[in-house]
Structure 1
């Protein structure tokens, strides 16, 4: 069988095919360079609208040049058939890896997120939105890095001419809500998909999945995802919160850019690693909360460089657009009547590329850039060359100065302002890194005690949440060990009756808080938290009592001054009925009783004692 070529590429194995075309392993006839070549399906390429879109999108995609993005090498036309070539990554897709490992450790997920953000930042800066970010389009290179493939391919293949009625663009399990409706596609669409990918890496399944695409889309539009800390409680709170923020239905509620998300992930990694080092000895003996739920496999294809290259239209997570694991051997591709057979001759690169019909043309990205420079008359001049170098030197100096400024230790005022702002909005958990930095760098600051109280309160809330999860998984609070059961019961009482909760915690400390008591590391830690909470509740209880008593005293004064005798009588009776069992209102209840007793004489000089 004669050799078959696409442009300069000798086709080898057919790696997969789908509604939009086929993918072949190939090598360059002159250089021997191995590549993956995607040949667009004839019924798709025949559309003039698609051919115009193909040209425009390729011009955009060839700008992408980043270590975490698979490189587009060239593009062309053979006997009226459109194709493009790209690098091959020797490694599995993230989808394959997840199918094998079920779930990934949060340390690994942090690095995956950082790599994806780096690639998205580069693409978004150039105006390119991926639109179909999913584990099948994330390749794991031999050096451990993540590389993204198929940037913008969903847009190239996804106009109404190529979608079924009622179908949607992108992969349903990882798409954003706006992709399932009429919403505008923006950079934050990719950030939602990033959140879905990170969720799947930790939980072993995407946020929404189902047996049909309709089920998935309905859940995507209507339901919140299952809280990640219910599935994987050991995931750091900061990471859980960021992922759920990325999964917000409204794009405006998501982080604004990939740069912001990447910086948060890097800061999170540094803070969590430092915390692990500092607390390793304290936490070594703590009970691990096991997840009794079965890991759900991600139902995916095992092959990457397009084992099953299905269009991203109306797809699911088991339909990778391109596959990355190379397979040796296999049968040679079948003869295609639209492909030119050249026997054993080498393919020649053509200089130009115009989308047309019946021509054999190919050009690389580098050739296209050279041609554009020649046509526009922008070949480098020596003077311009030296000016460019001088500009780069100045830019480098500026970057160094800016870097030195950014890496300076944060001041106490900067950190405290960030903590106070987060506390004021009820999002103090987002300032955990700043809290740790403040206490580590500025422990002698007058505000350090206040920051420690915030840190202690965060620890208490985190512990209570984990104990509640453990109780939920074990069948109820009564199935917890006695120390944990009593601690959780007291903590849950705080909202209803802080005074009673404080008293219960004091009893707990009497039983379990003795320093010489032989208990587990977890119980010793609970004792530390109980002491902190007793102090906090005491301060809060006194403050609340003072405020409530003062408000009630003002009401009594107002009633004495403004109500007629009959209404005063009913008012005082109501005060007694409402607050006679509340210790903080004892003085005000006595005042109401005294005023009620004097109603017969209608003494106008009823004095209401201050609280």
Structure 2
């Protein structure tokens, strides 16, 4: 029997149950807004430590505002029951789709991973590690976007006192080895889990399977998973390599950051078939999706469900026969004591959930006191109202809803302010931009220029380098300009190759340059070697375009010195550019 009301919401129906409680569809009594209401288990609510954990969870969710993360709407307590409301997503979670027999194409999986990477980038920037990334926590909305949900077991870097030393949290099928071993987790632990999700979407099963969690851990310890191409030959080798790198047991050998992963995936998709990128999303410097682009859809077979289905009792995909035995689909959320029975090396290393350097933080502002007896009082806090009280700016929809009431009384003042602003704008427009302002515009536009006006961004780069050559940021601006010049040349060569009937009809210098640019998104070390070879090339006569290839290669070789780290593992990857789209207006010879 479910409650009839929780806070301002009338409970319509049960959507699902999970280990921490139940999820209902709720309808706001005044606005009619439909939400997913998550009610925490009553037995857990009696524990003071759990209430502190719940308060920290709410604090976590408050900080996350991203188009690929399910949004928190409000939270409260009624009759001792803790609950919070999230936006309701029309769509299925990927776990349910796998159970229904759905298999995903490699392009689709790569584009999903780009969106998840951007969501993780946003969360990591706010000090949040998900810790339980799996298909059941990824919703495929009816518009084709991927939404990451259930940060309920994620913790802020500063909330470590809520996790016992050596404790682990997560689902074993997609858990990073260091997390399973009770060691501190890092953002790269989430990247391991994302690699496991990509693996499962392509093959219908996690990287390691077994009848029990202990069996899964033993196989994870034994060695790397089987390459995907062993079972799905159509999956490109480049994508298989990226996934296997994400699944490396050593966190330092994984892709460095979510934004680096997103850029590598985009570059790989482009290199394999640039004509299929028209519906891919653009990535800006902050890891956000370009508002002018729409994510790739998934076709007519995307079912319509509800967000509450992100917490099924079964957390693993449909069983598949394998040479290693049958696959137990039961949820593998097991205690730390069971995990620590399986040593990874000669000894098991325990640890807190996050680095000790992040332990001292202020207490969260969200407070839920110890439950004593029956609580009759109902409390509910809307995130929008909380923003208004704290002085933080609400979202655009909220501002518009309230705007009409006060704008009539403030019209005269608004006209006066507008006149002053107009004068200020006119005055500002006549002044050349400062170094800070010009650099900010370059940073905002440099990757957006993939689908916009390349020449406008290039002019700002030229202006910065001319006026502020001594600025410490001039090197970064020069690097951006070199990147765009290189990709512009690459696109010109691609067009010439198509006209000629193939790249094999181009001169060796131009063909080598194209190969180096293509390798840059997949094997950076190999690309650096090719650029160095081109930079040393001397032959006469050379055409202007061949000389341009040599000059651009020399600049890129100078920025990418030889490194001993494996491809994709170095810090230099963080500046890896993404090829501009075919439609960029600046991409003209």
What's the TM-score, normalizing by structure 2? 0.55
> Could you tell me which of 366, 386, 398 is aligned with 1:368?
386
Residues 418, 431 of structure 1: 8 Å contact kept:
no
Identify which of 406, 409, 428 aligns with 2:485: 409
Deviation at 1:353, TM superposition (A): 6.5
Question: 1:249 is paired with a residue of what secondary structure?
Answer: coil
SS at match of 1:140: strand
How many residues end up aligned between the 2 structures? Answer: 381
What is residue 561 of structure 1 aligned with on the other side?
none
Q: Which residue of 1 aligns with 2:72?
A: 72
Q: Cα–Cα, structure 1 residues 2 and 444, in superposed 2: closer, same or farther, change >3 Å? A: closer
User: How far is 1:409 from its partner?
Assistant: 3.1
Contact 2:136–2:312 (Cα < 8 Å) also in 1: no
Show the counterpart of 2:53. Answer: 53
- Please list the CA deviations of residues 261-290 of structure 1 after superposition, one character each: whole Å capped at 9, or x if unmatched: 00111111111113889xxxxxxxxxxxxx
Q: 1:396 to 1:161 in 2, by over 3 A?
A: closer
Determine whether 1:140 maps to 2:116: no
Distance 1:31 1:310 in 2: 32
Give me the whole-angstrom Cα distance separating, in 1, the residues matched to 2:248 and 2:73. 36
Other-structure match for 1:90: 90
C-alpha deviation, 1:372, in angstroms: 2.2
The CA distance in 2 between the partners of 1:136 and 1:2, in whole Å, is 23
SS of the equivalent of 2:26 reads: strand
Aligned in 2, Cα 1:393/1:161: closer, same or farther, shift over 3 Å? closer
Structure 1 residue corresponding to 2:444, chosen from 373, 394, 399: 399
Structure-2 separation of matches of 1:367 and 1:110: 38
Alignment of 1:201-600 (within 5 A): 201-274=201-274, 305-306=308-309, 309-310=312-313, 319=331, 354-356=367-369, 357=371, 358=375, 359-373=377-391, 395-396=440-441, 398-400=443-445, 403=449, 404=457, 406=480, 408-410=484-486, 419=516, 444=546
Residues 442, 409 of structure 1: alpha-carbon distance in 2 compared, 3 angstrom cutoff: farther
Residues 69 and 219 (structure 1), Cα distance of their counterparts in 2 relative to 1, 3 Å cut: same
RMSD (Å) for aligned C-alpha atoms: 4.8
Distance in 1 between the 2:446 and 2:193 partners?
35
Structure 2 residue aligned with 1:21: 21
Q: Distance in 2 between matches of 1:276 and 1:353?
A: 46
1:304 touches 1:320 (CA, 8 Å); kept in 2?
Answer: no
**Alignment partners' CA distance in 2, 1:137 and 1:319:** 13
* Offset at residue 119 of structure 1 (A): 0.8
User: Residues 141 and 147 of structure 1 are in contact (CA less than 8 Å); yes or no, is this contact kept in structure 2?
Assistant: yes
1:307, distance to aligned residue in structure 2 (A): 7.6
Using the TM superposition, give the Cα deviation of residue 417 of structure 1 relative to its aligned residue in structure 2, in angstroms: 12
Partner of 2:69: helix, strand, or coil? coil
Structure 1 stretch 185-194 or stretch 44-53: which is displaced more?
Answer: 44-53
C-alpha change, 1:175 and 1:265, in structure 2 (3 Å) is: same
Conserved 8 A contact 1:74-1:85:
yes
Q: 2:57 touches 2:151 (CA, 8 Å); kept in 1?
A: no
* Secondary structure of the corresponding residue to residue 199 of structure 1: helix
Task: State the structure with more CA Rg.
Answer: 1
Unaligned runs of 5+ in 1: 278-301, 322-351, 375-381, 452-611
- Higher share in helix: 1
Q: Verify the 8 A CA contact 1:135 1:197 in the aligned structure 2.
A: yes
Q: Give SS of 1:153's match.
A: coil
2: CA distance, partners of 1:234 / 1:141: 26
Distance across 2 between alignment mates of 1:59 and 1:444: 57
Question: 1:304/1:89 Cα in 2 relative to 1: closer, same or farther (>3 Å)?
Answer: closer
Distance in 2 between residues matched to 1:397 and 1:98, nearest whole Å: 43
